[in-house]
Structure 1
Amino acid sequence: MPVASVLRLILLASIWGGSFLFMRLTANSLGPAVLIEGRVLAAALFLLLMSLYLGRKLQFISYIKHFFIIGAFNSAFPFLMFAYAAQTLNASTLAIINSTAPLFGAVIASLWQRERLPLKACLGLLVGMLGVSVLVGQQAMALGEQGLLAISACLLAALMYGFSANYTKVAPVVAPFENAHGSMWASVILVLPLLPFIPIRDPITLPISLSVLVLGVVCTGIAYLLYFKLVKDDGPASALSVTFLVPLFGILWGRLFLGEAIGLNTLLGAILVITGTVLVTGFSFKKKLRKAY
């Protein structure tokens, strides 16, 4: 992997890790629906400006069903689940549970293709789920029913990401930029009906508005562009390695900006989840290093 791609990979991981920080900062004030509507609307408008600048016309009606499927399972609903959980769980926990998406993706792929999971992948699933248990066990006991609901919401969001990853393999052939752009507008439409039912709790201040703007433009719009650039230049397998870096940045940003404690359960849970993901996906750091050098 070229140095430029490595730098993009680290930048992308730091941005996506930061998304959980911004959700944690704003979720309790805005509520999940308003927060995510602001996020996807900011991303959609940013990508619209990019499309006008690049002269790329979005054929939304032609692929409307496809965009709504991607928007629902890759953006709107998982974003809502994480925003709901961010009212209770800390940023590092959100980031680590998010990295279980490839585990769910492997199970869904096995069911979709009617193939048995290899023994190594089954072991990876067990290790990954053990990691989640270690990570959230103490919080679940401390937070009670609310904590269990938040953890369940995160796991459901990761499941949706896993489904979306498998859907894209059989979906209509649409350019990556148009996928990102179209799915964001679909997400805007999907989240909009929820706004009257989840009211804003606190006044919208300038810091909260800026946080939502950064979450939408940087953590969603720009992040998509970086990710699809990695996929195009280095392939999906290399881009997948961002999965292993996001929890590290989630923990780091949570510690630096929110003062979140980094307990033994956090570190051990992160290691187990990442190890499980490596086993399930068959990702090889050794092979990547050989290609890089």
Structure 2
Amino acid sequence: MQSSENTVKNWGFLIILALIWGSSFILIKRGLEVFSPGELGAYRIVAAATFLLPLSLPRVKRLNSEQVQNLILVGLVGSFIPAFLFAKAQTQLSSSLTGVLNALTPLFVVVVGAIFFKSRITRRNALGLFIAFLGVVVLVMVKEGSGFGGLSEINTYAFFVLLACICYGFNLNLIKFRFVELKPVEITAISLLMVLPVALIYLMAGTEFAFKLVSVDGAWLALGYVTLLGVLGTALALILFNMMVKVASPVFASSVTYLIPIVAIMWGVWDGEVLLLGHYLGIAAVIFGVWVGNRKK
């Protein structure tokens, strides 16, 4: 059993991470006012990895080939790919709803664990998945001005968020089962270092990022938002998150997503985003489904 000190520490991590990651979606929204999803995603990784270079470079030489391969995977599924997917999703989804859909991460932890890491899916897990799935269906069909509750055609951009949640499911299981010997700061810093070259090459050679900095009004302000997103929301938050994963279960660690929607919705409402009846129904179903699917008893 966990000590009371570890329990308090884990809940402290949970609250801090909810505040940081719940604010990430409004920062993405601000960054997208100037940068494309690809530019935002790539620079987010560059900012986070560069910030952690003093920690990653001295440690990378100590790794064996298997650790390097696993850290490349963690860098891809835990940071690189989701950074692009969330940015793409928010071109057509509000920041608050993106934060709500992100709450599906704990359920994908269970599914990925069962398929690839020999974990077990219980009936309660399956019931939670079904309830949350119904909530997602409602959320992706809600549109302002579409009749009762706002139900309309499917917004396919929600599937970018679902793919990101699947990536996080892989990431959590990889950290828990493949990195018993590495410290959280090493996992975070080196995994970001592994994907830094790809992000940097794409950003500078494949986008108009540098051109926008010198030619677009508000570009430097948007850069500040994305820098904050990368340094605080990716680098420092991942260190805290990986510390929590090492001393708690993957499902508990991913439960930070219960609180993220609350913070994301508060930011969204403050920024003038409108929530309809269908949104509230979908949000309730997603969070209730995640709660049911992760109950122990």
Q: Is the 8 A contact 1:16 1:246 kept in 2?
A: yes
Aligned residues: 279
Which residue does the alignment assign to 1:176? 184
**Aligned-residue identity in percent:** 31
In structure 2, runs of 5+ residues without a counterpart are none
CA distance in 2, matches of 1:133, 1:108: 21
Instruction: State the match for 2:160 in structure 1.
Output: 153
1:40 is the counterpart of 2:40: no
Whether 1:15 aligns to 2:47 is no
Does structure 2 retain, via aligned residues, the 8 Å contact 1:20–1:250? yes
CA distance in structure 1 between the aligned counterparts of 2:46 and 2:112, rounded to whole angstroms = 30
User: What's the counterpart of residue 196 of structure 2?
Assistant: 188
The Cα of 1:61 is off from its aligned counterpart by 6.0
Residues 37-93 of structure 1: per-residue CA shift (max 9 Å, x gap): 2111111122224568xxx63337633211211111111111111111111111011
Gaps in structure 1 of 5+ consecutive residues:
285-293
Structure 1 residues 61 and 234: CA distance shift in structure 2, 3 A:
closer
User: Are the structure 2 counterparts of residues 127 and 39 from structure 1 closer, same or farther at C-alpha, using a change threshold of 3 Å?
Assistant: same
Amino acid at match of 1:179: I
CA-based RMSD: 3.0
Deviations 1:158-180 (A, max 9, x none): 11111222233432442211110
Counterpart of 1:128, as a letter, is: A
Contact 1:124–1:276 (8 Å) recurs in 2: yes
Alpha carbons of structure 1 residues 143 and 197: separation in structure 2 relative to 1, 3 Å: farther
Shift of 1:237: 5.2
- Residue in 2 aligned with 1:268? 281
The amino acid across from 1:230 in the alignment is M
Q: Could you tell me how far apart the structure 2 residues matched to 1:266 and 1:230 are?
A: 31
Distance 1:239 1:106, change over 3 A: closer
1:208 — aligned with what?
Answer: 222
CA-CA distance at 1:6 after TM superposition: 3.8
2:140 maps to 1:136:
yes
Q: Separation in 1 of the partners of 2:49 and 2:151?
A: 35
Under a length normalisation based on structure 1, what TM-score does the superposition of the two structures give? 0.83
Distance 1:144 1:187 in 2: 39
SS at match of 2:274: coil
Please state whether the residue corresponding to 1:153 is helix, strand or coil: helix
Inter-partner Cα distance in structure 2 for 1:207 and 1:263: 31
Residues 1:226 and 2:240 are matched in the alignment: yes
Q: TM-score, normalised by structure 2?
A: 0.82
Contact 2:15 2:256 in 1 (8 A): yes
Instruction: Please list the CA deviations of residues 164-220 of structure 1 after superposition, one character each: whole Å capped at 9, or x if unmatched.
Output: 222334324422111100111223233345444454595262211110110011111
SS in structure 2 opposite 1:96? helix
The alpha carbon displacement at 1:282 in A equals 2.5
Which of 81, 85, 107 in structure 2 is aligned with 1:103?
107
Match of 1:27 among 12, 29, 32: 32
**Higher relative helix content:** 1
Aligned partners of 1:90 and 1:260 also within 8 Å: yes
3-state SS of paired residue (1:241): helix
Describe the superposition over 1:223-267 as per-residue Cα deviations: whole angstroms up to 9, x where unpaired. 1232234345666554333121011111111112x2112333333
Shift of 1:101: 1.6
Would the aligned equivalents of 1:12 and 1:226 in 2 still touch at CA under 8 Å?
A: yes
Whole-Å separation in 1 of the counterparts to 2:26 and 2:105: 19
Name the CA distance, whole Å, in 2 between partners of 1:143 and 1:24.
Answer: 24
Equivalent position to 2:59, from 31, 51, 57:
57
